[in-house]
Amino acid sequence: MTQLSPNSSSGEERTEPTDGFAIDTTRRTTREALGDYVARLRGGQLGALPALLGLLTLFVVFTVLSDRFLTLGNLANLLGQGAGIVVIAMGLVFVLLLGDIDLSAGTASGVAASVLALHLVNNGNLLGAMGTAVFLLFCGAIVLAVVLALMARLWIGAGLATLGLLLVVLGVPANPWLEILLAVCVGTAIGCLTGFLVARVGIPAFVVTLALFLAWGGVVLQFVGVGGTLGLRDDVLFAVANGSLPVWGSWLFALVAVLGYVALGWGRHLRQVRAGVVTAPTPLVLGKLGAVVLLALVGTWLLTLNRSPNDQTVIAGVPYVVPIVLVLLVLGTLVLDRTRYGRHIYAVGGNREAARRAGIDVVKIRMSVFVVCSTVAAIGAVIYSSKVGSVDPQAGGGNTLLFAVGAAVIGGTSLFGGRGRLRDAVIGGTVIATIDNGLGLLGQPAAVVSIVTGVVLLLAASVDAVSRRRAAAVGR
C-alpha cells in the first residue's frame, strides 16, 4: 500500500512506501521500524518467532530440571543428535513451499543409506551383494530416472543420476568420499522418479509419496535383510556426525563464517542505501549483525573447551555437522532468495495458476523440488547413519519423516505453500532435538517424547492456520 504526497516545488505527486517490514531509512526512525514490525506480528505474520520463543522456553525448563542439560558435552551431542532430521527437513521445505508433501523422503533417505553401506561393506561389488535380478532392477530404475530427468530438462538431476549409475555399474572400489557421492546420486534418482509421477503424470503428491514410502521401505529391507545390520567401519564416515574440527580449525571456520555474514549483510545494506531503495535503519542492521557475530563467537569458544568426561582424553572443537548444516543453509537460502529459480518456487507456491499465466514452467518447478528434497534427504541419511555407525532395515523409517516434516512446520514453514524459509528447518529441528534430548535426560520413555513432540507440532500448525486467517482478515 502506498500514499500520495504533493511535491511543493513542482506540484507533482510521489509515492511513499508505507507497508513492509523493511523501511525507508530517510523517512522512518528505528522506533517507527520496530512499530511496523509489531504491526506485522499483530497482522499474523509471525515467521519463526513462535518457534524461537518455544526453543528458549525449552532451554530454560530443561536447565532447571536437569543439571546435565546445559553441559558442554550435552550441547555438542545435541547438535549431532538433530542434524540428520534438520537436513532432511531442509529438503522438505522446498516441497512444502509449493503446498505439496513428500511422505517418502524418510525411506528414500534409507535407500540411499543402505546403498552406501552395501557398497562400502562389499568393496564396490553391488552385483554380488544384491544378486543379478535385484541389481538389474536397481540399475534399470536409475536409467529410468535419467530418462525422465532429460525429458523434463532437469540437467543437474540427469547428471547426478548418471554419475550414480556409473559408480554402480563400474564397481568402483569402496572409498568414503565416493560412498557419500553415491548416496547423493541415489537420492537424486529417487527424486526424479517421484517428481515425474507428481508433476508430469499428475498423481496427487500424497498418493505417490505414500506409495513410495512403503515401496522404499521394502527396498531397504531387501538390501539390508531381515534382522541384518551393515556397519560403517570407516573413520571418515564415522566422523561425519561424531567428529569435530580441531580448535584452530574451529576458530578459522568461525572467522570465515562471521566475516562472510557481515560482508553480505552490510554490503547489501550499503547498496540499498546508495540506490535509495527501501531498507532497514542502519542501527537495526548493525544490531542484528552484532548479535549474530557475538553468538557465533561465544558458541565457538564454548565448543573449543574440553568437554570430555574423562581427564585422560580431550574432546574439543566444533562438530563437523555444524559446518555441514551451515553450508547447506547458506546455499539453499541463496537459491531461494537470490535466484530466479527460488522466486519461481515462491510464485508457484503462492498461486499456481497465476504463475503459469506469468510464463513459469510450473510442471518443471514441481518436479525439481522433489529432486532437491530427495537429494538433500540423502545427505541427511549420511549424517544419521554416521551417528549410529550402521544401517539397519529401519533406516529412514519410523519417526524420521514425521520429525522432519514437524521440524519444518514448527520452524514456521506453512503447510499451505508460499511461505517459509530454509532456516525454519534448522530452528524446528533444534526444537525437536531439544525435546528428545531433554526428556531423555529426565528419564522419560519414548511414549512421552512422542506425545510432547506431537503436541508441539499441533500447536505450530494451529499458529500457522490462525496467523494466515489473521493476515487474510487484515488484508496482508
pLDDT tens digits, one per residue of 347-394: 998 888 888 888 899 999 999 999 999 999 999 999 989 988 888 888
CATH number at residue 70: 1.10.3470
Is residue 61 domain-resident? yes
Is residue 305 domain-resident? no
What is the predicted pLDDT for the residue at 24? 42
Q: Among 354, 402, 392, 347, which residue's Cα sits nearest to residue 369?
A: 347
- Helices 422-441 and 49-65, interaxial angle, to 10°? 20
- Secondary structure letter of residue 21 according to DSSP: S
What is the predicted pLDDT for the residue at 471? 59
Q: What average pLDDT score do residues 205-215 get? A: 93
Check pLDDT > 60 for residue 84. Answer: yes
Is residue 302 domain-resident? no
What is the predicted pLDDT for the residue at 335? 92
Is residue 445 domain-resident? yes
- Helices 72-96 and 362-388, interaxial angle, to 10°? 160
Residue 198 banded pLDDT, cuts 50, 70, 90: very high
pLDDT tens digits, one per residue of 242-283: 889 999 999 999 999 999 988 888 888 888 778 777 677 778
- Dihedral over alpha carbons 451, 456, 457, 463 (to 10 degrees): 150
Q: Could you give the number of structural domains in the chain?
A: 1
What is the predicted pLDDT for the residue at 14? 38
What is the predicted pLDDT for the residue at 111? 94
Check pLDDT > 50 for residue 19. Answer: no
Is residue 41 domain-resident? no
Are 378 and 180 in contact by the 8 Å Cβ rule? The answer is no
Domain assignment of residue 154, given as a range: 49-243+319-389+398-470
Are 199 and 363 in contact by the 8 Å Cβ rule? The answer is yes
pTM: 0.86
Q: What is the mean pLDDT of the chain?
A: 84
Check pLDDT > 60 for residue 80. Answer: yes
pLDDT tens digits, one per residue of 144-191: 999 999 999 999 999 999 999 999 998 888 899 999 999 999 999 999
Residue 12 banded pLDDT, cuts 50, 70, 90: very low
Q: How far apart are CA 89 and CA 373, in angstroms?
A: 9
What is the predicted pLDDT for the residue at 5? 41
Are 78 and 55 in contact by the 8 Å Cβ rule? The answer is no
Phi, psi of 281 (to 5 degrees): -60, 145
**75-84, 258-267, 409-418, 422-431 — which is least confidently predicted?**
409-418
What is the predicted pLDDT for the residue at 43? 62
Check pLDDT > 70 for residue 2. Answer: no
What is the predicted pLDDT for the residue at 8? 42
Look at 459 and 86; give whichever has higher pLDDT: 86
Give the DSSP H/E element, type plus range, for residue 405.
helix 400-411
Question: DSSP for 227-273?
Answer: T--EE---HHHHHHHH-B--HHHHHHHHHHHHHHHHHHHHHHHHHHH
Check pLDDT > 50 for residue 435. Answer: yes
What is the predicted pLDDT for the residue at 464? 64
Is residue 372 domain-resident? yes
What is the predicted pLDDT for the residue at 46? 66
Check pLDDT > 70 for residue 17. Answer: no
**176-180, 239-243, 415-419 — which is least confidently predicted?**
415-419
Is residue 7 domain-resident? no
Is residue 12 domain-resident? no
